[in-house]
Amino acid sequence: MSAGYGDVFLMNLPDGVISNVLSALPVEQLLNASMVCKAFAAMSDKLLEKLCKERRWALPRFPRGQSATTAFPWRSLYRQHACIACGKIGEFPLRRLVSGHTVYLICKRCTAIPWVQERLVRENLFVDLEGVSGKKLLSKGQRTKKRRLSAG
């Protein structure tokens, strides 16, 4: 017995069961699951709202009578704070080489991954050495070593 396109088994499950499954996913996979369909996006947005509020991130305030421009505002807010490569919390701003505007965030772990470094070069992005919370990307010893390598 083959299931047709309209006979999607997951959507026949109660919302509570789907929500429990989504809540067990790591955040990176939750963001991916939120792209599957509108029902998953709505459930994921509720879970992301909880995560954002735990981190004390707030949605921007809108003038009276005006609402958010996106259907899933908490997903958008989380993506603004997430690492572009892995989806975890980003710390270091990525800026456009020409304009200097912050475009994305990246975590310290992902700055060392070769394919991420290649993508940053390809897209003309550079990483701030100081994170949004004041953390340094390189320790003092690494900065000194890097200066010696670039001078010699």
Q: What is the DSSP string of 57-91?
A: --PPP--TT---SSS-HHHHHHHHHBBTTTSSB--
| Positions in the chain short of pLDDT 50 | 1, 144-152
Options 1.20.1280.50, 3.30.365.10, 3.40.50.300, 1.10.357.10; which CATH number does 11-58+73-81 get?
1.20.1280.50
pLDDT of residue 141: 61
pLDDT at 142: 59
What number of residues does the chain have?
152
pLDDT at 133: 81
pLDDT at site 114: 92
Instruction: Please list the residue range(s) of the chain that carry CATH number 1.20.1280.50.
Output: 11-58+73-81
Q: pLDDT tens across 68-82, in order?
A: 667 888 888 888 888
